[in-house]
Amino acid sequence: MEENSGIPINDNDCLKLEPKSKACPRPKPGEAAGGCAFDGAQITLLPISDAAHLVHGPAACIANSWESRGSHSSGPRLSAYGFGTSLSEQDIIFGAEKKLTRSIEYIAERFKPPAIFVYSTCVTALIGEDLDTVCADVSARLGISVIPVNSPGFVGSKNLGNRLAGESLIQYVIGRTEPERISAYDINLIGEYNIAGEMWDIERLLNRVGISIMSRITGDGRFNEIGHAHRAKVNMVVCSRALLGLAKRMEQTYHIPYFEGSFYGAKETSYSLRQMAYLLNDRDLERRVDRLIKREEARLAIELRPYRQILKGKKAVLYTGGVKSWSVISALKELGIKVVGVGTNKSTAEDINRIEDRVGEDVDYIAEGGAKSIIKAVKDRKADLMIAGGRNMYVALKEQIPFVDINQERHTAYAGYDGLLRLAKQITFAINHPVWEMVERPAPWDVGGDR
Amino acid sequence: MTVKHTMKPVSVNPLKIGPSLGSVLALQGCYRGMAILHGSQGCSAFSKSLLTRHFRDTIAVQTSALQEMDVIFDTDRNLEEALNTVITKHHPDIIGVIGTELTDVAGSDYPSFVKKYTRERGVKNCLIIPVILPDFSGSLESGYNAMVEGILDAVIQEEGCKAPTKQIYSQVNLLPGSFLTAGDIAELKEMISDFGFEVITIPDISTSLSGHLLTGFSPLTRGGVPLDSIRQSLRSSYTIAVGSSMERPARRLQNAVGIPYKVFHGMSGLRATDELLLFLQQLSGASVPQRYRWQRENLLDSMLDAHFHYAGSSAVVALEPDHLMSVGSWLGEMGVEIKALIGSCETALIRETEQEVWVGDLDDAENLGNGADIWVSNCHGRQGAKRIGASFLSAGFPITDELGSYMSVSVGYKGAMNWVNKVGNLLIRREEARNESRLC
C-alpha cells in the first residue's frame, strides 16, 4: 500500500517495523465504511491545541470535518479554529502554492502560533502541490515550525493517516526542543487523545505515584512539549495500531523502551502502571505503584458492588477498533458482563490474538458487513447491550438496543479506576432506563385490535 | 451589486458546507434511496457523520472508495463496483451518484458512465441520477438543488419530455429549499393540504429524517417521497417552490411539462406567511381556514408583547444564501438592526438583493458582528458568538450540539411566533445580565 502511495517514506526499516498485520485491504466500493487517511492524520494531530491546523484543499475537506472530535484542551483553543485554503477553480488550474504561502503567513501573523500543521488533501496531491518545499521556505522565513502532513484521503484508511501523522511528528517535531528540566520519572503517552478528558484522570493517577508526563502525544498536547519527547524514559502506546511505529522509531533512535497498554478497566490500568514502574526501573516507585493499585482496587471493589450485581451475566456486543476491541473486553469482564460478539474489521492480527486471550471460545467475530452484521449478532446472541462508536448509535436505537458510545465523539471518560466506575454507571443506566419500557408500550388504541 | 468579500487568503472557521453533502441530504428525502459519493471514502464518511449527528438518525450514503491509483487509472471501475454492490445487495429505487472535487479534478466523466451502465445492464426499477458538483462554486444549498433538479430531470426524461395527458387539478408540488427542517416541511405540507390540495413534496425529509421507530435495519432511506409519487408530480397543476434556489427545478418542470410555478423567497415571518396563504386562497378558491386566522392574531399579539425587548437590538446572521435572506427579512419585521449578513456562497438572490451581503466565513461574522446582541448561524458559530459576547441562536446546518433542531419550526405564523419568542427571550436574558453588571 505504502509503496504506491507516492508518499516519501525515506526509512524503509519503518515499514518492517509496522505491526504484522495484512497489508491494508482495498476498501470495497459500495460497502466501505470509515474515514480516509486525511481524517486519520487530523485525529492524531488536532489535539495539539496551541498549533494552527491548516487544510490545503477544497472547502469540503475542512468544512465537513472541523469541530467534530471530543478531544479536550486545558488551555489554548487555537486548534478549534478551522483553517482551509478553500481552493478555487483558478487555484486548481494554475496551482495554489502561492495561496498556501500567503495563508500560512496570514495565520502566523494574526495568531502567532508556535507551529502550523499543513495537511494535504486528495486534490492538492493530485495536482502536485509541493507541500514540503512551501512549508520549509515559509518556516525558514518566519522562524516558526510549519509542518507538512502528507496524508491525502485517497492513500488509504484512517489508520494509515494516524501513522503518517506519526511520521510527521518524528520527522519535524520530536527531538527539536529541549525541556527545561527532566527527571527519572518522565514518560510519554502516545496515542491518547484526551477524549472526554480521559487523559486528565490518567495524569492524576500517575502524579500520585510520582510519574510525570513529558509529552502528551497528543491529547491536551502542546507543540513544544511534544518536541521534548526524546527525553522521556518510557513510552506508553495507548492506541496500539496507529502509533506503534512511532514508538518503535523512538526506541531505535533515542533508546526509549516502550510498551503497549490500556487504561480501560482496573486490571489493564494496574498492569499499565506496573509496566511503567518496571520500565522506569525504580524499586521505590514499584512499591508506590503497588500501594496505589491496592488502595484503588479496594476502593473500586466497594463502589462497584451495586453495579456488579445488576450487570452480572449481561451480554454485550462490542464493535470498535484497534486497542479498544480488546481492552474494553477486559473492562467489561471486570463488571461481570459477557462479551458475545466482537467487531474485528479494524483490528490487527495481534489485536485479534489479544481478543481471543480475553474472551475465550464463545464469541462471534464480526469481521465485516457493518451495521447489519452487528445487529444480527445482537439478535442471535440475545445481547443486552451494544457498545460501539457514534456511527452505529442510531442503528442500535432504532432496534431498541441499549447503547453505550465508546469512540471519539463521546462525552464520558472511561479510563482508569474512576473511568471503570463511570462505565459501570453508564451501562447500568443504559440498560435500566425506563425509555425501553416506554418504547415497547403500544398505543392504547392499537391494543387488542389488528387495526 | 451589494456583494462584498473580505480579503483573506485563507478561510477561517468556514461557514460553507460541501455541496456534495447537500446532494446527499436531498436524496435522504426520497424513499428507498441511496447516495453514492464518488470520491475517496472520507468524502462519504464525513458527510455521513455530520448528517447523522445533526439529524440523530441513520443516513443512507455509500462511497466509490477511490484510492490514488484508481484516480490515476480508472475511476469508472470503482463506480461500477459500487453500483453493482448497492443494487444487488439492497435493491434501491433511486440512486444518486454524486461527484466530488476529486472526480472533478480527475476529469472523470461519470454521467456518461452512468448512462452506459443503465443501458448495458438493463437496470430496471431503479433510477440512477448523476450529479456534477464542483466544490469551489457552491455550498450545501447548490448541491441540494442540483440533486432535486437531477431527480426531476430523470423522471421527465423517462416520460419522454412530454406533458402528461391528464392533469390532476387538486394536486400541487412542493419543492422545499435545503434550509427547511423536517418540522418546517411537515408544517408547510399541512398548510397547503388545508386548502384541499394533495401535496407531493420533492424531496420530503419530513417523513424520513423526522425520527421514527421502524425496526428491521436497512441501509436505504426509510422514508421520503416514493419514486412513483415523483413520477406523479408531472401531472400536478402547480409547483410551489420555497427558497429562490428552488426556482431552477421548478422552472425545469414548467419548461418540460408546462406546470406553472411560484417561488417564495423565504418563509419566515408575517409577510412571508401572508403571501403564501393569500396565494393558496387564490389558487384553491377556498378561504383561509379559521385556525390560520387565529394563528395570525396570536403572532401579531406576540410581536406586540415582544417589541419592547427588541428595541435597539442588533444581530449578525451567517447562513446559506436563501436561509440568510429569509431570516434577514424576518429580523427586519422585528426592527432588529442588521450588523451584517454573511452568506456561504454567491448566488443570484444575493447579487440581486438591495441589502449589503457579505460572502465569507464565521470569522468574518465575528469581525463584522462585533457589538451585536444576537448571532444566528449553525453550531460552528457558537465559539465566535461567545468571543464577541453575542447571544447565540442556532439555525441552519449543522446543529450537532442541540436536541431536536431538525424538528424546530420557523415557517408559518406558528413558526414566526416561535422565533419572536425565542429571540425575545435571549434579549430579556441580556437585559438582565446588563442590569446585573450595572449593580456591581
Q: What is the DSSP string of A412-448?
A: S--BHHHHHHHHHHHHHHHHH-THHHHHHSPPGGGTT
The tens digit of pLDDT for each residue in B382-410 reads 999 999 999 999 999 999 999 999 999 99
* B340-357: average pLDDT: 94
The CATH number that domain A186-294 falls under is 3.40.50.12380
Beta-carbon separation of B136 and A439 below 8 A: no
Same domain, B111 and B78: yes
Which among A100, A107, A122 is the top mutation candidate for probing chain B, defined by the most B β-carbons within 10 Å of its own β-carbon? Answer: A122
Same domain, B224 and B182: yes
pLDDT for residue B69 is more than 70: yes
pLDDT for residue B195 is more than 90: yes
Which among A46, A64, A119, A366 is the top mutation candidate for probing chain B, defined by the most B β-carbons within 10 Å of its own β-carbon? Answer: A64
Q: How confident is the model at residue A321 (pLDDT cuts 50, 70, 90)?
A: low
Residue of B nearest to A372 (CA): B217
Q: How confident is the model at residue A5 (pLDDT cuts 50, 70, 90)?
A: very low
* A197-223: average pLDDT: 96
Please give the torsion angle defined by the CA atoms of residues B426, B16, B114 and B218, in that order, rounded to the nearest 10 degrees: -40
A314 near A384, Cβ under 8 Å?
Answer: yes
Q: Which of B132, B158, B184 is the last residue of a domain?
A: B158
Same domain, B173 and B252: yes
> What are the sequence ranges of the domains in chain A?
12-172, 186-294, 312-409
pLDDT for residue A2 is more than 80: no
* pLDDT on residue A346: 67
Same domain, B324 and B405: yes
pTM above 0.90, yes or no: yes
Cell numbers for A33: 465504511
The side-by-side arrangement of strands in the sheet containing B236-242 is B198-201, B168-176, B236-242, B261-264
CATH architecture under which domain A12-172 falls = 3-Layer(aba) Sandwich (3.40)
Same domain, B286 and B310: no
Query: Dihedrals φ, ψ of B404, to 5°?
Result: 70, 10
Q: How confident is the model at residue A382 (pLDDT cuts 50, 70, 90)?
A: very high
- Which residues does chain A have within 8 Å of residue B46's beta carbon, measured at their own beta carbons? 35, 39, 60-61, 64-65
Whether residue B56 lies within 8 A of chain A, CB to CB, comes out as: yes
Whether residue B170 lies within 8 A of chain A, CB to CB, comes out as: no
Whether residue B33 lies within 8 A of chain A, CB to CB, comes out as: no
Same domain, B251 and B364: no
B160 vs B85 pLDDT, higher one: B85
Same domain, B144 and B205: no
* pLDDT on residue A105: 98
Same domain, B178 and B258: yes
Per the prediction, chain A carries an average pLDDT of: 89
* pLDDT on residue A287: 97
Tell me how crowded residue A151 is: count the other CB atoms within 10 A of its CB: 31
* pLDDT on residue A406: 87
Q: Tell me how far CA of residue A298 lies from CA of A295, A308, A428, B194, B425, in angstroms.
A: 5, 14, 21, 67, 51
Cell numbers for A198: 480521559
Same domain, B23 and B154: yes
* pLDDT on residue B297: 97
* A326-349: average pLDDT: 85
Helix (H) or strand (E) holding B435: helix B412-439
pLDDT for residue A170 is more than 80: yes
CATH architecture under which domain A312-409 falls = 3-Layer(aba) Sandwich (3.40)
The count of domains in chain B is 3
B335 vs A33 pLDDT, higher one: B335
Same domain, B310 and B433: yes
The side-by-side arrangement of strands in the sheet containing B314-319 is B3-5, B357-359, B337-343, B314-319, B374-377, B391-394
CATH assignment of the domain containing B322: 3.40.50.1980
* B241-265: average pLDDT: 96
How far is it, in rounded angstroms, from Cα B156 to Cα B290? 38
Longest dimension (CA), chain A: 79
Helix (H) or strand (E) holding B436: helix B412-439
Percent of chain B having pLDDT more than 70? 99
* B239-262: average pLDDT: 96
The side-by-side arrangement of strands in the sheet containing A115-119 is A145-149, A115-119, A52-55, A83-84, B11-12
* Residues in a beta bridge with A339: A316
Residue B316 CA, distance from chain mean position: 21
Cell numbers for A65: 470535518
* pLDDT on residue A1: 35
Q: Which of B240, B265, B291 is the last residue of a domain?
A: B291
* B373-383: average pLDDT: 97
The residue segments making up the domain with residue B179 are: 168-291
Length of chain B measured in residues: 440
The tens digit of pLDDT for each residue in B31-61 reads 999 999 999 999 999 999 999 999 999 999 9
The tens digit of pLDDT for each residue in A61-80 reads 999 999 988 788 998 899 99
Whether residue B35 lies within 8 A of chain A, CB to CB, comes out as: no
B417 vs A363 pLDDT, higher one: B417
Which among A88, A154, A159 is the top mutation candidate for probing chain B, defined by the most B β-carbons within 10 Å of its own β-carbon? Answer: A154
B85 near B33, Cβ under 8 Å?
Answer: no
Are A186-294 and A312-409 equal in CATH topology? yes
B107 falls within a domain: yes
Tell me how crowded residue B117 is: count the other CB atoms within 10 A of its CB: 20
A366 near A339, Cβ under 8 Å?
Answer: no
The tens digit of pLDDT for each residue in A15-66 reads 444 444 445 668 889 988 788 999 999 999 999 999 999 999 999 999 999 9
Same domain, B283 and B310: no
Same domain, B128 and B222: no
B301 falls within a domain: no
Beta-carbon separation of B45 and A58 below 8 A: no
Collapsing DSSP to helix, strand or coil, A315 comes out as strand
ipTM of this predicted structure:
0.95
The nearest CA of chain A is from the CA of B106 a distance in Å of: 8
* pLDDT on residue A448: 64
The nearest CA of chain B is from the CA of A418 a distance in Å of: 26
| Positive or negative torsion for Cα A109, A112, A118, A123 | negative
Q: Which of B291, B322, B356 is the last residue of a domain?
A: B291
* A216-235: average pLDDT: 96
